[in-house]
Structure 1
Amino acid sequence: MKKIASLLFAIAMLFSIGASAQDKAVNPSEFHGAVADKKFYKVVYQLNSDDDKIIKATMKNMMNALEDPRLKGKLQAELVVHGGGVAVFKKTNPYEIQLKALQAKGVILAECENTLRERNISKDELFDFISFVPSGNGEIIIRQQQGWAIVHP
């Protein structure tokens, strides 16, 4: 019985400590976001939609991350495209300027070869400045295990 009472007391204390920590309001003028204390960061952005809004938002998010003063010069990024996302790399679509701007900042632009086979798309239909990976999902899995952050807008 003493063990149960001691255990219940310990649990109550933990909840009380947690509650008091949550009661402290954060002063917005004192918070400036996370500190980028590492020398280098790596991120994969996954794009698997042909929705123009999602494509544009993904590229904008990438550019914002590359321009974040905390990450500037410290970020290696890759855009992994599969499924419907292949639209971003098609020569017939209007994304060449944004893609080249990302690539000029060191972004790897990678298209899934499985998608090309499944959708019967020739590499000739895509911009000639992109790279290819055997599978988009495989690329994401490998990168995640290598410590890359994964972002899927």
Structure 2
Amino acid sequence: MTLVVAVAAVVLAGWALYRLSQEGTPDSPNYSGAQRTDAKTEVCAAADVVRKGVSLNTNLQPPGGPEDVTGTLAVAANARVSLYDGGQYLLARIDPATPPELADAAKKFANLLMDIGANATAGSQNSEPEQAARLKDADASNAAIMQLCK
């Protein structure tokens, strides 16, 4: 009887190993080519929307010119919102099937955008070394995403 139980256990263990090798593990599931392509397309499209929104809203001029205090504050607020919301939007579009290199680049870019926005809200100027470094890193991350999305 012990031999039967041992053989059954070995067969069951072998079957489980075979199934895992065919299906992947929860940590690294196998996605179809179509799933990976769809996920890549979604992240690339989201990154494009974010890129356009951030570019538009961080380059606006106050409607009344530089002396328009209210307009200046409104433009600055829109810029900060576009940075933070753009980061959140991009993070929300990263699907588990997104190719890992693209997912990592998108996460880095999204988090940098939120860091830039949060620090701007806290009073950091783009000319300050820490904020300038964040901006440079965000530009590099954006370029990496654009390259991966080709």
| TM-score bucket of the superposed structures, by smaller chain | under 0.3
Greater fraction of residues in helix:
2
TM-score by length of 2: 0.25
TM-score by length of 1: 0.24
Higher relative contact order (CA 8 A, sep 6+): 1
